[in-house]
Chains A and B, each alone.
Chain A
């Protein structure tokens, strides 16, 4: 069993997002970096499938700056075997350019080592959320894809994927391997890294492929923070004295007659 997981380094944002002076990036002075919860689940799923199969290789891949090796090592700390960094100069890459670069890398790797049985991604990136990279990779490689997956079983020659149906219930897909699957948070509960896991990850090699910055186009011009909805808290009083005012509010909202 040979599985590839693609992840993206993103700022671990808090409540209030501040932009850098040129409006082209999130101000990350006080922030750490992470991958999206979907991708954490994709990493966990890859490790579990290989554990269940009793053998195989898992590889994590990211496109990003040198610092994104932190996220590759985090994945290796919970059991991913190998890591590939498609190195950028730190500039933002759009979905088309990213999918193209990753597809190229997959082709190169598969030409040497044979195909990945399964390519896992998060359903969407935590920052840009454009839902495109997984689909574009699948189309470019001419492989079946199921998106938004919350249950996955890998059989001999097939993959069974389950996802929530609109309006409730589940959709069940059976597709041939090799395949691409994008997963959603909730498919599993990712494990924490152990100390030995961290220490092993620290010593592992990372394969680095330098990308041509010119291939990043189209590029992002500017970010804008949407206006936050102001929410106000009004304290109606304390103890029994507050009751009449609460009743009044309930009445206004039509909750009681």
Chain B
């Protein structure tokens, strides 16, 4: 941050729940010159906040979103605008009942008080429900409703009391000036405001405002239909806004909630009705408000019938009228997550958009911390605006994925579920080869990546029960035993894998070494030709990322990182390059393609196609250099994410097919198999205990806890060094451990296999919480075909982080015995790493 909070001039655009929460949190953190611009009148300017249903359910399968929601509830309570009502998600189908068990597990993992209840128990709490059509419910007492407009007013007033805020309502933004890539001014119809920082919290209008500065905010306004019926005779004698728990009718994508004398019925089941930000009417043109569009009855007909089924006593009452019906606008994004952070296009231009009432104050606090110190307490990487690859901001992509995601709002979404729309965007040069081999493609960052190959089906016979076949439908979905067969063949012989989704960029120039030294934890002043795996930290010592860097020349470092988080990593490097221009970043992602080859016979395969020295002495582990392979120069890097001898091989994109064919032919005598990301990302990785960013690694854990310490801390300064030294000086409050399931058999005799995020419990079924208040849960889960066990990774507090400790894991409402096999990063398979170094 070039400017100190007390001096910086900040313009916050928007006075909905997000903008209001932000001016408060910024003021609280010491920002002084805040101008809040709002085109509508206060306190209800006409955006999505004004017509929100304002209820808060606590449990989400995402830990980040759940933590933000819990923090928001605390804030709403402190503001005095929260009314606790309880809430129940009801199930009409057996499949939904199973999903409610999964939500129960997530609640336990994130520390939320909840329980599964019978239809009779639902009826006792919500007497107007027809229990004949439900099988049960998932009840969370801590659920409630808020007055989001009142909350906004209080927060603006608090910012004013701190003498930090000037509010300019009825003021329309007409332009944002950018000079030398940095925002300088906000133009409005009431005059201009000079600005060092501009924060767009304009909800559905955010794309339009950001475009004025040349930045992309890939969200789309979308309709959420809601009706309000009343007067409900049953509610006549109730006091206040809400007495009865809010009901979510999950199977119909609907909710029913009391609002004074009325019942509000909302839906996420209707067809996706998307708009463009430029199509939203002005305040003057709107009958109600710009985000309350005329109700389209035909889209809601089915919902009325379904609502009538669940709540016949109220909705079937002829005296109860539909008093209000709107097509309310809200914001949808292509991946369903908010859009937060500084835009990659313009320095000083921040965005906080696509945020729901339930998480807004928590998000505002997180963004304010991020703006102030760069160190938010809750990790924002899943919501970081920098996460989007270019094609993901394209209008067609945003619309297609938002439409597809809309009906998943209350959906049963498998953790590996694939998007159907807008596929085949980024294809590797071997794509047609992979299709011929019957690849099952999963998408990452737009890349189509084989997860397994139908051509390997014959391996199933070869390995029999060692492939750990699954019979339960849930964990057989988006999975194949072929993955485990590929794993075993790779460990026995040799396999090749498409790694084209890497994000690759070079840091070059006379200041390159100093630049990467300042960012990486690992020593980067290494001989040319070395490959270094390193974490990156933020100033607070939270784990920002982990990646590999090759030193290719005195002044040239090649950074290779995963497609999913690579864009955020790129922004991190770019933001921390020296101001004097002595180091440059160039993105080579679309220039190079990568094939990995690993297994005991990898050297034999490569040696047969090259004249170069690939012996262990001639090409040791942790080095990279160019070799000629099948007549083309290939950058070979001897590292491994699956724990085997082998290389990552980089070639220019147009030579990728040639490389693939060379390896394929050379590999035939050695029994080479193509293998997919199922092995690379899960089975191979977990057997080796390799940590993955976003699963084990994020800002909320540190390197001591992840057991990723180097013996020594380098002398050179780097981001987070002081915090890292401090972390090393004290014992960890939790340590990442490898557990295996002792018995996978369920009560009904089916073998069950956890997929991740499940709670780890003590033998008496109690939750495990570390000294920082974090629950123990499964960060990654998957088969370990070579060890014959189902593997779970989890952070455990010291009293449980002891090899041999017996614990439980909860999965779909049942508990399975597990054993702590490894504390720390020692691999379960090949613990002394002899295979990688052979």
CB-based contact B320/A195 at 8 Å: yes
A170-211: contact bitstring with B at CB < 8 Å (1 yes, 0 no)?
000000000000000000000111111111001000000000
Known: A32-B293, A198-B322, A199-B301. 12 other contacts (CB 8 A): A12-B294, A16-B282, A16-B284, A29-B279, A30-B293, A192-B323, A194-B317, A194-B319, A194-B320, A194-B321, A199-B308, A202-B301
Interface pairs (20), CB distance under 8 Å = A12-B287, A14-B284, A14-B285, A15-B284, A16-B282, A30-B286, A30-B287, A30-B294, A32-B293, A32-B295, A194-B317, A195-B308, A195-B315, A195-B322, A196-B308, A196-B318, A198-B304, A199-B305, A199-B308, A202-B301
Interface string of B258-290 (1 = CB under 8 A from A): 000000000000000000000101101111000
Residues in chain A near residue B301, CB distance under 8 A? 198-199, 202
Most buried by B among A18, A29, A33, A194: A194
The digit string for B289-323, where 1 denotes a CB below 8 A from any CB of A, is 00001110100010011011000000111111111
Judge if B229 is at the interface, Cβ distance under 8 Å. yes
Query: What residues of chain B lie closer than 8 Å to A73, measured between beta carbons?
Result: 297
For A199, the chain B residues whose CB sits under 8 A away are: 301, 304-305, 308
- In the complex, which residue of chain A has the Cβ closest to the Cβ of B305? A199
A12-B293 Cα distance, complex, nearest whole Å: 11
Residue of A nearest to B314 (CB): A195
Chain A 55-91 interface 0/1 with B at a Cβ cutoff of 8 Å (1 = within): 0000000000000001001000000000000000000
B436 to chain A: closest CB distance in Å? 50
- Flag A21-46 by CB within 8 Å of B: 1 or 0 each: 00000000111110000000000000
**Residues of chain B within 8 A of A13, CB atoms compared:** 287
Q: Interface code A94-128, partner B: CB below 8 Å = 1, 0 otherwise?
A: 00000000000000000000000000000000000
- The answer for the CA separation of A195 and B315 in the assembled complex, in Å, is 6
Given A193-B321, A194-B322, is A16 in contact with B304 using a C-beta cutoff of 8 Å? no
Q: How far is the CB of A146 from chain B (nearest CB, A)?
A: 30
Query: Which residues on the B side are within 8 Å of A14 (C-beta)?
Result: 284-287
- B227: nearest residue on chain A (CB-CB)? A195
Find chain A residues with CB under 8 A from B279 CB. Answer: 29
Question: Chain B contacts of A15 at CB under 8 A?
Answer: 284-285
Least CB distance, B40 to chain A, in whole angstroms? 13
Residues of A within 8 A of B281 (CB): 29-30
Could you tell me the distance between the alpha carbons of A194 and B488 in the complex, rounded to whole angstroms? 64
Q: How far is the CA of A191 from the CA of B319 in the complex (A)?
A: 9
Interface residues on B, range: 20 to 34
Question: A16: which B residues are within 8 A, CB to CB?
Answer: 282, 284-285
Interface residues on A, range: 20 to 34
CA gap between A14 and B285 in the complex, in Å: 6
What is the CA–CA distance of A29 and B284 in the complex, to the nearest angstrom?
14
In the bound complex, CA of A198 to CA of B322 (Å): 9
- Chain B: CB-nearest residue to A32: B294
Instruction: Write the chain B residue with the least CB distance to A202.
Output: B301
List, in ascending order, chain B residues with CB within 8 A of A18's CB.
Answer: 285
Within 8 Å by CB of A192, from B286, B287, B304, B322, lies B322
Q: Give the residues in chain A near B282, CB-CB below 8 Å.
A: 16
Residues of B contacting A30 in the complex (Cβ-Cβ under 8 angstroms):
281, 285-287, 293-294
Bound: A252/B281 CA distance, A: 40
B293 contacts across to A, CB distance below 8 A: 30, 32
Task: Known contacts A70-B297, A199-B305; decide if A193 and B287 are in contact (CB<8 Å).
Answer: no
A15 closest partner in B (C-beta): B284
Q: Contacts A31-B294, A32-B295, A70-B297 hold; do A195 and B285 have CB atoms under 8 A apart?
A: no
Neighbouring B residues of A12 by C-beta, 8 Å: 287, 294
Task: Give the shortest distance, in Å, between A129 (CB) and chain B (any CB).
Answer: 19
Which residues of the other chain, A, contact B320 by a CB distance below 8 angstroms? 194-195
Q: How far is the CB of A227 from chain B (nearest CB, A)?
A: 15
Chain A residues positioned under 8 Å from B316 (CB to CB): 195-196
CB closest residue in chain B, given A13: B287
Q: What CA separation (Å) do A197 and B319 show in the bound complex?
A: 10
Q: How far is the CA of A20 from the CA of B319 in the complex (A)?
A: 41
Pick from B284, B285, B286, B318: contact of A194, CB under 8 Å: B318
Q: How far is the CB of A79 from chain B (nearest CB, A)?
A: 9
With the chains together, A70 CA to B282 CA distance in Å? Answer: 26
CA of A197 to CA of B229, assembled, Å: 13
Residue-wise, chain A 136-164 has the 8 Å CB interface mask toward B (1 for contact) of 00000000000000000000000000000
A13 to B287, CA, bound (A): 6
B295 / chain A contacts, CB cutoff of 8 Å: 32
Residue of B nearest to A12 (CB): B287
Q: Which of A15, A30, A31 has the most CB of B within 10 A?
A: A30
Which 5 residue pairs are nearest across A and B when measured between Cβ atoms? A192-B321, A32-B294, A30-B281, A16-B284, A14-B287
* A70 / chain B contacts, CB cutoff of 8 Å: 297
**Chain A residues near B294 (CB, 8 Å)?**
12, 30-33
Whole-angstrom distance between the Cβ of B111 and the nearest chain A Cβ: 39
Which B residue sits closest to A198, measured CB to CB?
B304
CB-CB nearest in chain A for B290: A30
Closest to B281 in A: A30
Q: How far is the CA of A70 from the CA of B298 in the complex (A)?
A: 9
Contact with A along B213-232 (1 / 0, CB 8 A): 00000000000000001000
- Bound together, the chains give a CA A161 to CA B92 distance in angstroms of 54
What CA separation (Å) do A202 and B304 show in the bound complex? 11
A196 to B279, CA, bound (A): 34
A203 to B483, CA, bound (A): 53
Closest CB in chain A relative to B261 CB, distance in Å: 13
CB of A206 to closest CB in B, whole Å: 14
CB distance from B128 to the nearest CB of A (A): 13
Which chain A positions have C-beta within 8 A of B285? 14-16, 18, 30
Whole-angstrom CA separation of A106 from B293 in the bound complex: 36
CA distance A15 to B229 in the complex (A): 27
